[in-house]
Structure 1
């Protein structure tokens, strides 16, 4: 295992991944437990209807109906908390791949092995991707299992389509964190910039439908690739999925190029 950066990285992440998975299951259980008290409250939809259009676009997915399980999950989990959880993990793991090694003074030891820099970066990127997909799958499975306990029945294919788009969103920003850490070795910058760009992408996607000057750039937002085609209702949108996957791959390649060019003392 120690000769494989991929397997060693996954092994090192086991406890953290278990903690993240438990936290996600608890988060979903909370929303599932609240659902029975929400579904019989028509005032919730009235409240959403009374919100200014800009706020409704930012904090509630378009067309969501709180009286249905799909609409409730779109608003309460998938529009905000779900992406935050996955992005926190993906960005943190992507940054730790290189900048984290430097902070712990283990990068020199890693580079002293016969492993190439390209292999190190790509295997760490693969470990980040596996962890991100695992957490998205955990969220989907929790929705299906825990939701059934409270009558919050959701179509399995649509749930996992939404989780697929969520995982791809995480991969884009995780790969961005990886690329920045590979290029600079600075953990703070490599975490802060993707987080800031994620907030910017969220605002652009949320307000793109109501602010004229944002409309031309809305479709370039990774948040639009995640939610713009409403995967929890319509299933996987393959063009959006391929764009997100392609973006993550390009960023991973840039991480390799940047790390190969860096002067790191061994």
Structure 2
């Protein structure tokens, strides 16, 4: 099983993935259960309109209508909570993919298997992709199934598109943590740097339309590629997905390069 690094990585995460899935299903259930009590409340839309522009830009998607199922889920779940949860998972797994093996003194055992460093990192990246996609799929299934229970009718194709874009967003930050952890061997540094990048790019995307000097770089934010095209209502944006995929692949390549040049002795 040591030669199937991706499979062993997922096997080691099995309990954590169960816990993450249960938590996500519970969060979605909470928001779905609240829908019947808010759908006929026009005051909520009025409240959003009266919010300060900066706050609305950061925490409420432009053009989203709280009185519709898609607008409600976009504002309450997909704008902040769902990305936050899955990014925490992706960054955590990415930062410990290699650095965690070193912290637990299992890297020698892993390197003793008949696999190259590049293969190890690539399979760790595959495990990151599969784990993140699994949680995004669980989120999407929960939205459709639990939404049906509470008359929260969401377009299945729109939910699929939103989950694909969400996976791409999380993999970008997971890739940052993976590359830094592999290149330095420090999981804490990898988590901290990725977390700082999450905050900076979130602010750039949210404040870009209001701050003239941020507007030119807004489209560089992974959050722009995730939400600017409103995938829940309009479907997938293949150019945006391509940006996320290419960014992740570049980060994996950086991780391979950095890991190959490190001295793991001592």
State the TM-score, normalizing by the size of structure 1.
0.98
Separation in 2, partners of 1:216, 1:13:
40
- Structure 1 regions of 5+ residues with no counterpart? none
1 CA distance for matches of 2:110 and 2:241?
34
Tell me the residue number matched to 1:174.
Answer: 174
Structure 2: runs of 5+ lacking an equivalent: none
The equivalent residue for 1:113 is: 113
Give deviations 1:50-82, integer Å, cap 9, x for gaps: 011111100101111111101100110001000
Give the match for residue 39 of structure 1. 39
Contact kept in structure 1, 2:70 and 2:154, CA below 8 Å? yes
Secondary structure of residue in 1 paired with 2:164: helix
Q: Which deviates more, 133-142 or 104-113?
A: 104-113
* Equivalent residue runs for 1:9-28 within 5 Å: 9-28=9-28
Q: For residues 65 and 211 of structure 1, what CA distance do their matches in structure 2 show?
A: 24
Which SS does the other structure have where 1:219 is aligned? helix
Q: Is the 8 A contact 2:2 2:113 kept in 1?
A: no
Q: Determine the structure 2 residue equivalent to 1:262.
A: 262
Q: Distance in 2 between matches of 1:238 and 1:114?
A: 38
Deviations 1:198-218 (A, max 9, x none): 111111101111211111000
In structure 2, the residue matched to 1:97 is 97
Q: What displacement does 1:3 show?
A: 2.6
Residue 137 of structure 1 pairs with residue 137 of structure 2: yes
Is 2:156 the counterpart of 1:159? no
Counterparts of 1:236 and 1:148 in 2: how far apart (Å)?
A: 23
Offset at 1:114? 1.9
Question: Which consecutive aligned stretches of 4+ in structure 1 deviate over 4 angstroms post-superposition?
Answer: none
Task: Name the SS for the 1:212 alignment partner.
Answer: coil
Deviations for 1:18-41, whole angstroms, at most 9, x for unmatched residues? 110111000000000001111011
Separation in 1, partners of 2:143, 2:261: 44
How far apart, in 2, do the equivalents of 1:8 and 1:262 lie?
A: 23
Residues in 2 aligned to 1:215 and 1:3: alpha-carbon distance in whole angstroms: 47
Tell me what 1:202 maps to. Answer: 202
CA distance in 2, matches of 1:105, 1:132: 25
- 1:265 positional shift: 1.1
Aligned length: 266
* Structure 1 counterpart of 2:62: 62
For 1:56 and 1:78, how far apart are their aligned partners in 2? Answer: 14
**Mapped partners of 2:3, 2:237: distance in 1:** 38
Distance 2:113 2:44 in 1: 59
Separation (CA, whole Å) in 1 of partners of 2:243 and 2:254: 16
Q: Give the Cα separation in 2 of the matches to 1:3 and 1:131.
A: 19
CA RMSD of aligned residues (A): 0.9
- Does 1:146 pair with 2:129? no
State the distance in 2 between where 1:181 and 1:108 align. 16
3-state DSSP class of the match of 2:220?
A: coil
